[in-house]
Amino acid sequence: MSPDAQDFTRFYDASSLLDKETEIALDASDGECDRIANRLDLLSLTHFHTEFVITPWRKTGLRVVGTLTANVEQPCSITLEPVADHIKEDIDLRYLPENDLKKLQQENGSDVLDLEKHDPPELLTESLDLGAIAVEFLTLALNPYPRKPGASIDENDLQPGGQESMSADASNGRDEIDKEGPFSALGKWKNRLK
């Protein structure tokens, strides 16, 4: 599920930065929140705010740093009841023009960019869609398996055909795997299904 670019667009003219820092705050309208929620299979998105600070980086590039906050409701992955969550996510991206990006990719050395701490820079075009960046970071920050407090799955519900639990086998499972190999326990389980 990728967000549609038309759900929340806010273009920034990359050539307008010059040598100074630019601060930009974005708020999604109710209609935009509804479209984003629909696209991301959320029950609701009631607050979606992002603050960006855009600064020059490596003479020809840009650095985009910011904070995203959002209030979302997702369906519980067990009961499908609403699960509310407040999201706060940091954003830190770097952009370079195509020629400089190619040079950077050809250079070696840890002084160029510490990839342990930062993602590699992205291609800088004439304009950046700050809205799309915000939606992308919201998507990445969502809990993939939201769970309502107290919601649980009964172990018998997981057994095919309602067969009794394999918890006795599970307690001995580590010893059996060590002795017979990693797939022997799967073979025994398959035989129980027949």
The sign one gets for the Cα dihedral 161, 144, 1, 34 is positive
Domains in the chain, number: 2
Q: What is the pLDDT of residue 63?
A: 93
β-pairing verdict for 122-123 and 82-96: parallel
- Residue at token pair 């109710």: 30
The sign one gets for the Cα dihedral 70, 74, 77, 83 is positive
Q: Are residues 128 and 162 in the same domain?
A: no
Q: Are residues 16 and 97 in the same domain?
A: yes
Q: Which residue from 71, 90, 73, 52 is spatially nearest to 148, judged by alpha carbons? A: 73
Q: What is the pLDDT of residue 126?
A: 85
Q: What is the pLDDT of residue 68?
A: 97
54: containing domain: 11-141
Q: Is residue 150 part of a domain?
A: no
Q: Are residues 171 and 82 in the same domain?
A: no
Q: Are residues 166 and 188 in the same domain?
A: yes
Q: What is the pLDDT of residue 111?
A: 46
Q: Are residues 28 and 69 in the same domain?
A: yes
Q: What is the pLDDT of residue 179?
A: 63
Which stretches in the chain have pLDDT values below 70? Answer: 1-6, 18, 108-118, 155-179, 181-182, 185, 189, 193-194
What is the torsion angle, in degrees rounded to the nearest 10, for the CA atoms of residue 8, residue 14, residue 19 and residue 24?
Answer: -10
Amino acid identity, residue 26?
A: L
Give the count of beta carbons closer than 10 Å to the beta carbon of residue 187.
10
φ, ψ for residue 174 (rounded to 5)? Answer: -65, -45
Q: Is residue 179 part of a domain?
A: yes
Q: What is the pLDDT of residue 115?
A: 56
Asked if 142 and 39 count as a contact pair (C-beta separation under 8 A), the reply is no
Q: Are residues 73 and 122 in the same domain?
A: yes
Q: Is residue 3 part of a domain?
A: no
Q: What is the pLDDT of residue 14?
A: 82
| pTM attached to this predicted model | 0.71
